[in-house]
């Protein structure tokens, strides 16, 4: 794999030579370098805002100016992104944020460019999409928990990648033969869990409630494989209200929007776990749609099961949002409003 040609230049300001620096990066492949820089250099602009440096691109060269530590970190980030682009991975603004956090986690920001990466974020790989790397420390901890534990709770705000990564991990387990089935479930609280009056067969009744999971599923699997899996039962759509009495073996089971489960529903769901199975429970405690006065099964389960051996927990915060910069700001604004009201989330109820 081609290596970036890197050369450091003397400090910009004589009076602040210790603090200011200029670093020039030269990449071998112009096309890959343009992918790293982004459309109209938007990735470089985002790097400038995040690290407080100036990044000027010219062809396959980029010049970094600013505080020495920030320039070294920016250099490390661009090296990582270039290596990913060479391997065929997409490089978006969210990946820039992930590379910044990953460079920090490695703890070797000033190592030579050919030094082996240490502390790299976890990744999953599916046949359709290829490798997908965690974008931040919270996602990295989430993927590590999914690998280690048979039951994992992930709670946090929208846009943190909980459902998307869970589906990707489930597809990976299915493709590797670790499990035989994938079961997708979520509460249909908007219909009061009474689906009989809705038109169509079971799949058609619950499709609108599971659309976010379907979107992620089609990201990681070809459409024909998804349809075949649904027809053969390898992929199953199971409304939460219809899970009672089952024992699920050699399966990966995903419960999404778990904040809308009642405590009894959550207990029922968790006790479906059978031999050789993995279970993932996702939810956002700040978006509870249960009737007033009804406790959330997710909040209760996370509280009761803390410290139980064999169960993993992956908390996400508003700073972990990767969907869009504005989404992170929106989530933060609502969190501040909730704090001003005394900690009760808007539209939600805590036990």
Q: What is the pLDDT of residues 86-128, one digit of tens each?
A: 877 778 877 888 788 777 665 543 343 433 343 478 889 888 8
Positions of CATH 3.40.50.300 in the chain = 124-340
Q: What is the pLDDT of residues 243-278, one digit of tens each?
A: 888 888 999 999 999 999 999 999 999 999 999 999
Q: What's the Rg (C-alpha) of the chain?
A: 23
Give the Cα separation of 71 and 53 in Å (integer). 7
Per-residue pLDDT of the chain (351 residues; tens, 9 = 90+): 444 444 444 434 443 445 778 888 889 888 888 989 988 888 899 899 888 899 999 888 899 999 888 888 889 899 888 988 887 777 887 788 878 877 766 554 334 343 334 347 888 988 888 888 888 889 989 999 999 999 999 999 888 899 999 999 999 999 999 999 999 988 875 444 445 545 555 556 666 767 888 888 999 999 999 999 989 999 988 778 778 888 889 999 999 999 999 999 999 999 999 999 999 999 999 888 888 888 999 999 999 999 899 999 999 988 788 766 677 678 778 878 877 876 555 444 444
Task: Tell me the backbone φ, ψ of residue 10, rounded to 5 degrees.
Answer: -60, 160
In this structure, whether the domain defined by 124-340 belongs to CATH 3.40.50.300 is answered with: yes
Q: Where are the alpha helices (DSSP H) in the chain?
A: 30-37, 42-51, 68-86, 93-106, 137-148, 162-175, 202-206, 211-220, 223-232, 263-270, 297-305, 325-340
Torsion of CA 35, 39, 42, 47, to 10 degrees: 0
Positions of CATH 3.30.1370.10 in the chain = 5-112
Tokens of 266: 């959550």
Sign of CA dihedral 320, 321, 325, 328: negative
What pLDDT shows up at residue 175? Answer: 93
CATH architecture of 5-112: 2-Layer Sandwich (3.30)
In the chain, count H helices and then E strands: 12, 12
Pairing mode, strands 235-237 and 181-185: parallel
11, 66 contact by CB (below 8 A): no
Q: What is the largest CA-CA distance in the chain?
A: 77
Tokens of 193: 């869990």
What pLDDT shows up at residue 16? Answer: 45
What pLDDT shows up at residue 202? Answer: 57
pTM of the full structure: 0.72
Sign of CA dihedral 325, 187, 154, 218: negative
Instruction: Return the residue matching tokens 């974020």.
Output: 121
Of the chain, the end-to-end C-alpha distance in Å amounts to: 54
Cα–Cα nearest to 78, from 25, 20, 21, 137 = 25
What pLDDT shows up at residue 313? Answer: 96
305, 266 contact by CB (below 8 A): no
The conformation of residue 291, written as its DSSP 8-state character, comes to P
Tokens of 189: 């609280």
Give the Cα separation of 318 and 270 in Å (integer). 27
CB atoms < 10 A from the CB of 79, how many? 21
What pLDDT shows up at residue 169? Answer: 95
């Amino acid at each position: 794999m081609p290596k970036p040609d890197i050369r450091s230049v003397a400090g910009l300001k004589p009076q602040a030579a210790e603090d200011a620096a200029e670093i020039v990066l030269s990449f071998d492949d112009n096309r890959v370098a343009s992918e790293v820089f982004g459309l109209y250099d938007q990735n470089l602009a985002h790097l400038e805002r995040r690290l407080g440096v100036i990044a000027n691109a010219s062809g396959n060269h980029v010049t970094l100016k600013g505080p020495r530590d920030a320039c070294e970190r920016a250099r490390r980030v661009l090296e990582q992104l270039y290596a990913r682009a060479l391997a065929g991975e997409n490089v978006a603004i969210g990946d820039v944020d992930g590379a910044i956090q990953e460079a920090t986690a490695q703890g070797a920001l000033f190592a030579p460019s050919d030094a082996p990466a240490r502390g790299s974020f976890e990744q999953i790989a599916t046949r359709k999409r290829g490798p997908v790397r965690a974008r931040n420390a919270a996602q990295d901890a989430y993927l590590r928990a999914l690998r280690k534990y048979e039951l994992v709770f992930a709670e946090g705000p929208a846009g943190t990648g909980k459902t998307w990564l869970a589906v990707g991990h489930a597809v990976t387990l299915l493709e590797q033969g670790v499990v035989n089935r994938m079961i997708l479930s979520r509460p249909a609280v908007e219909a009061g869990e009474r689906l009989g009056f809705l038109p169509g067969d079971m799949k058609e009744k619950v499709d609108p409630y599971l659309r976010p999971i379907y979107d992620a599923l089609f990201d990681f699997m070809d459409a024909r494989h998804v349809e075949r899996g649904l027809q053969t039962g390898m992929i199953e759509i199971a409304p939460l209200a219809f899970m009672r009495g089952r024992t699920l073996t050699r399966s990966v089971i995903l419960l999404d929007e778990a904040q809308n489960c009642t405590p009894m529903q959550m207990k029922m769901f968790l006790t479906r776990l059978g031999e050789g199975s993995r279970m993932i429970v996702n939810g956002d405690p700040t978006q509870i749609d249960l009737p007033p006065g009804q406790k959330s099964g997710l909040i209760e389960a996370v509280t009761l099961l803390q410290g139980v051996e064999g169960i993993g927990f992956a908390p996400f915060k508003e700073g972990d949002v990767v969907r869009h910069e504005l989404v992170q700001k929106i989530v933060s604004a609502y969190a501040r409003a909730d704090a001003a009201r005394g900690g009760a989330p808007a539209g939600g109820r805590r036990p």
